[in-house]
Amino acid sequence: SNFLDESINVTPNNPTAVPPSVLLPTVEIGTAFANANEINRFASTIMQQTAGAANSPATYDVYQTNGADFGNQWRFELYGGALVNAQKIIDIASASNSPAYTGIAKIMKAYAFSVATDMWGDVPYSQALQGEANPQPRVDKQEDIYKGNTSQNIQSLFDLVREGLADLDKQSATRPGNDDVIYRGDLAKWRRAGNTLLLKLANTISVKEPALAKQVIDQVIAGNNFIRSNADDFNVTFGAAVGSRDPRFEYTNISSFKDDLIMSSRYLTLLQGLNDPRLPVFWTKPAANYVTWDNGQSGARPTPVTTWSRYNSYVTGANGEGPVRLLTNFQRAFILAESALMLGTAGDPQTLYAEGIRASMTLAGIPTAQIDAYITANALRGTQQERLAQIITQKYIAFTGNGLELWNDWRRTGYPTQQPAQNAVGIDGTRPVRAVYVSFENERNTNFPNPAPQSNVKVWWDAN
């Protein structure tokens, strides 16, 4: 009868099919949001760029982290956000012969998976994102995620990126435009970003797997199509209004948690020691002097809170625009400098190192003369390890505001060398070397080890 027509039960509230163009912004913003939100509060704090003045950051600062942390990042930003929607774009766009979308989605998917595995180590990968077909995906080894494993049917992250790059070269029925909030549909820039992502992934495993890393980097250098100008940076730009802003702007300037973070005294000491002109660009100084806090310090916080040094507009944008810098020209230069030094890939470490500093300082708006002076004063010197320490330290400064990159580099190389926080407790008083699996996943997926590995158990590529 009409009274019980099937149309009665068709939801008027949600679409059941959408074009890829409304999923792409979700993927891009979700990836940037994951990087810049709680993961950055955690990683920038334990990496002593920020200090925890209250709440979670204060806990992180004394090395306490557990499965209750990063639930949102795992559930809503990565797996249930950027990743599953990237997969959906791949499915929809494959069916509609739009490899421009699948190519971008594969690169984004590889980037977001690298965030997941760098944070948590072994994670669901080859069987993830399949919905009902696999409600409890297997946990793949990080080694297999990076290197691939044919017998287990695991595609390496490198091959995933390469597949995406290949898609970008195909004819596409539809192409992204303004829905691509990163490059506005410029596929040439996407190719450069994809190749630069290969460099980043190779760099991450370079201590554990130097030969493979060298092979990948050599190949990218030979292809000669990677980010080599700041204008090509793989940046996600946010907006200036409520609900559109970079999370770092929100949680340092707007939200009720804005007084959780303050500049670390140790970071101030480092940059002042180097006489680094980027300091006032990266950080605010509302009072006569920088007001900072030592990592893990207890006692009454500096007053009033309006004097605290916080992320400056270089990091957050003047009104929350960001950008979140996911792959950059300076990063590429530092990676090639490190590879040239440690793996013997093409190029001169000092030249590439200077290129990295110059790229960073140019972004920061530092005058050329000051840049030249700074590069001269901080030229690479000493043993291979000392030079590596310089490269990583400069990368650490340049990447201010992207805590995950700082934490990855420190775990790989041990640089920059830092003293433990005051009052450090945590699992054994040492700085975390992995994020603990979110308890939600433990509750729902019996493939996860329970109890989960604690924060003092290294991930596979952390071989130093």
Partner 1 sequence: GRVTSSDDGSALPGVSIQVKGTTRGATTDAQGQYRLSVPANSRLVFSYIGFETQEILVGNQTTIDVKLSSGTQSLNEIVVTAQGIERDKRSLGYSTQEVGASMIAQKSEPNLLNALQGKLAGVQISGQSGAPGASTNINIRGITSFNGSNQPLIVVDGIIFSNDVNVSGNTLFQAQSANRLADVNPENIESVNVLKGPAAAVLYGSRASAGAIIITTKNGRNQNNKTEVTVNSSYNVQNVYGLPRFQNDYGQGTNNLYVNNTTASWGLPFVGGPTSITNLQGETRPYQAYPNNVRDFYQQGSIFQNTANIAGGDANRNFSLSFGNTTQKGIVPTFKFNRTNVQVGGESKLNNGIKVSGTASYVQTVQGGTALGNGGSAFGQLTRIPRSYDLVNEPFQDANGQSIYFLTTANNPNWAVRNLTLNSQVDRFFGNFTVGYDVTKWLNVTYRVTGDTYTDRRKNVNNIGAARAPQGEIIQDQFFRSELNGDLLVNAKADKLFIEGLSGNLLLGNNINQRQSQSQSVYAQQLTIPGFSNVSNGSVFTSSGESSLTRRLVGYYAQASLSYNNYLFLELTGRADRSSTLPRANNTYFYPSASVSFVPTDAFKLQSDILSYAKVRASIAKVGRDADPYLLNSVFAQASFGNNLASVAFPLSIGGSSVPGFAIGGRIGNNGLTPEFVTSQEVGLNLGLFKNKVSIDAAYFFTSSTNQIFNVAVSPSSGYDTRTTNVGELQNRGLELTLNATPVRASGFRWDVTLNFTRIRNKVVSIAPGVTQSGITGNGFIGITSSIVEGQPYGVIVSTANPRVQNTNPNGQYYDATGQFVGQYVINPTTGQFAPGLAGQVIANPNPNWTAGLNNTFSYKGFSLQALVDTRQGGQLFSFSAADYRSGGSLYVTGIDRDQPRILPGVIQNSDGTFRPNNIQLPAQTYWAGLGGLASEGAVFDATVYRLREVSFNYTFPKEWLSRTPLGAASIGITGRNLYFFAPGFFADPEVNTQGAGNIQGLDLNGPPNTRNYGVNLRLTF
Residue list 118-177, contact with partner 1 (CB under 8 A): 123-124, 128-132, 134-137
Site string for partner 1, 35-64 (x = CB under 8 A): --xx--x-----------xxx---------
The single-letter code of the amino acid at 159 is: D
| Rounded Cα gap, residues 334 and 149, in angstroms | 30
Residue 87 interacts with partner 1 (CB under 8 A)?
yes
- State the nearest-atom distance from the C-beta of 327 to partner 1, in Å: 19
Residue 318 interacts with partner 1 (CB under 8 A)?
no
By beta-carbon proximity to partner 1, the closer residue of 40 and 203 is 40
By beta-carbon proximity to partner 1, the closer residue of 103 and 247 is 247
- State the nearest-atom distance from the C-beta of 30 to partner 1, in Å: 6
Q: Is the peptide bond before 453 cis (omega within 30 degrees of 0)?
A: no
Spacing of C-alpha 178 from chain mean position: 23
By beta-carbon proximity to partner 1, the closer residue of 152 and 298 is 298
Q: Which of 343, 118, 334 is nearest to 217 (CA)?
A: 343
Are 356 and 395 a contacting pair, CB within 8 Å?
yes
By beta-carbon proximity to partner 1, the closer residue of 23 and 161 is 23
Interface residue with partner 1 among 35, 45, 85, 331 (CB under 8 A) is 85
Residues 92-111 that bind partner 1 (CB under 8 A): none
By beta-carbon proximity to partner 1, the closer residue of 378 and 442 is 442
Scored b (16 or more CB within 10 A) or e, 365-386 reads: ebeeeebeebbeebebeeeeee
Binding window for partner 1 (CB under 8 A); candidates: 8-16, 167-175, 185-193, 383-391: 8-16
What is the β-pairing status of strands 324-327 and 234-236?
Answer: antiparallel
Mapped onto helix, strand or coil, the DSSP state of residue 425 is coil
| Rounded Cα gap, residues 79 and 380, in angstroms | 41
Interface residue with partner 1 among 104, 119, 404, 438 (CB under 8 A) is 438
By beta-carbon proximity to partner 1, the closer residue of 8 and 369 is 8
Mapped onto helix, strand or coil, the DSSP state of residue 42 is helix
| Rounded Cα gap, residues 33 and 78, in angstroms | 9
Are 380 and 387 a contacting pair, CB within 8 Å?
yes
**Residue found by looking up tokens 């019980």 in the block:** 4
- State the nearest-atom distance from the C-beta of 427 to partner 1, in Å: 7
By beta-carbon proximity to partner 1, the closer residue of 289 and 303 is 303
Q: Which of 270, 273, 265, 315 is nearest to 290 (CA)?
A: 265
| Rounded Cα gap, residues 421 and 304, in angstroms | 24
Site string for partner 1, 232-271 (x = CB under 8 A): -----xxxxxxxxx-xxxxx--xxxxxxx-----------
Q: How many residues touch partner 1 (CB under 8 A)?
A: 108
Could you count the other beta carbons within 10 Å of the beta carbon of residue 440? Answer: 14
Phi/psi at 210 (5° precision): -60, -35
- Give how far Cα 384 sits from Cα of 155, 156, 352, 388, Å: 34, 30, 15, 6
DSSP structure class, residue 253: I
Residue 458 interacts with partner 1 (CB under 8 A)?
no
- State the nearest-atom distance from the C-beta of 317 to partner 1, in Å: 11
Here the tokens at position 210 are 């130097």
By beta-carbon proximity to partner 1, the closer residue of 368 and 450 is 450
Residue 12 interacts with partner 1 (CB under 8 A)?
yes
Residue 357 interacts with partner 1 (CB under 8 A)?
no
Residues 268-307 that bind partner 1 (CB under 8 A): 298-301, 303-305
- State the nearest-atom distance from the C-beta of 26 to partner 1, in Å: 4
By the 10 Å C-beta count (0-12 exposed, 13-18 middle, 19+ buried), 178 is classed as exposed
Site string for partner 1, 179-198 (x = CB under 8 A): x-x-----------------
Interface residue with partner 1 among 150, 151, 171, 178 (CB under 8 A) is 178
Residue 378 interacts with partner 1 (CB under 8 A)?
no
By beta-carbon proximity to partner 1, the closer residue of 74 and 353 is 74
What pairs with residue 51 in β-bridges?
262
Residue 226 interacts with partner 1 (CB under 8 A)?
no
Residue 29 interacts with partner 1 (CB under 8 A)?
yes
